[in-house]
Amino acid sequence: MPMALEGIKIVDLSRMAPGPFCTMVLGDLGADVIRVEEPGGGRMARERSAEIDQTQTRRRAAFNALNRNKRSIALDLKNPDAQRALHDLTKDADVFVEGFRPGVVSRLGCDYRTLSAINPRLVYCSISGYGQDGPYSSLVGHDINYISVGGALGVIGPRDGAPVIPYNIIADYAGGGFHAATAILAALMARERAGRGQYVDVAMSDGVAYMLASLMSEYFSGGAPPERGRTNLNGGAPYYNVYRCRDGRYLSVGCIEPWFWSALCEALGREDLIAGQFDPDRAEYIENELARAFETRDRDDWWETLSAVSSIAVTRVTTIEEAARDPQNLHRRMVIEAGQVDGETVKQVGIGPKLSDTPGSVRSLGATVGQHTDRILSDLGYSARRIARLRESGAVE
């Protein structure tokens, strides 16, 4: 059975998390992804090269899930010969992904105008912090900056406290990587009707704002703007909150529905709290009472009791270590043995989308920089002598 994206060729020029995550998703679903990397792995890798040997390099590449199901070619795109090789690589490509600041790809000879002239069917996706236009387009940034501009950071954190910085999954992975993957798939569908590709401009700050659709809708319809720790879904309600247990670990409570709330209060022996669920005047009192109740037992003790009642929306707040052995995650194959490197078993995160007829798979572990250069160029029709000349000139590695 062919995979969902089998036959789709993707040239990936991205570097930081959003682009590699986007192409990991597409590669997991069957696309042929070719990473175009700098010889030596770029500035960061060169500065750290003295610290690691080849065994460590292979291990690091193999364990990096973002680079699985991808081949690697190393091209110095400041070299005209390398630019020509990239042009040859994109002649039959379906998708091109880059994650540079606006304007950089023009200097590297691989902007949309150049590549679409070579291959009109190419779907070209640029992933950047603030997009290709607008007053912030030339600014540098990272996840923390994009979730600030998009509006998410301002609503995360305790009431009367500073914003709480989440891990970089909101802008980088969701607003950037998943946002881009969705847009690319839509553009590929459109190509089936129109017969030509198009340019896809993905801004991580746009993606963050996009995911705030519900909050924005409430605000635009005349509602008060949400404040940190004061709305029903960001810490302002006792029935949707986190509580510290006796052992210092936490439970998350999501008992929004009155019947969930009633079941929780009954399990805690606090039926007197049921009627006040939505009473703002009693919210602080109820939260304090729940906090005192949960402090009387360890987290897993509470979890064993409360998880036995199917109508109570409570779960453990787990560490990454605990998540990696959680029975639900294991059952759903979100932790897998992806292969081996130098005799060591490589564990990775599993594949999120579960397709019944064309499931995704991990077919290869991450490659080292330039591991497939010769094979990729050979597939393009380059002779061994021509490849040797390119390597001698520093155009490839």
Q: In terms of DSSP bridges, do strands 344-349 and 335-341 run parallel, antiparallel, or are they unpaired?
A: antiparallel
Tokens, residue 278: 């939505």
Catalytic residue among 81, 87, 88, 142: 142
One of 172, 179, 206, 372 is an active-site residue; which one?
172
Instruction: Give, for 392, the enclosing helix (H) or strand (E).
Output: helix 384-393
Cα 310 to Cα 79, 84, 132, 255, 305, distances in angstroms: 62, 61, 48, 12, 11
Q: Which of 297, 333, 334 is nearest to 316 (CA)?
A: 297
User: Is 87 tagged catalytic?
Assistant: no
Task: Work out the end-to-end distance of the chain between its first and last CA atoms, rounded to an integer number of angstroms.
Answer: 36
Residue with tokens 């590669």: 27
* φ, ψ for residue 72, nearest 5 deg: -125, 130
Which of 96, 95, 131, 123 lies closest to 110 in space, CA to CA? 96
Phi (first) and psi of residue 268, to 5 degrees? -85, -5
The answer to whether residue 172 is catalytic is yes
Active site residues per annotation? 142, 172
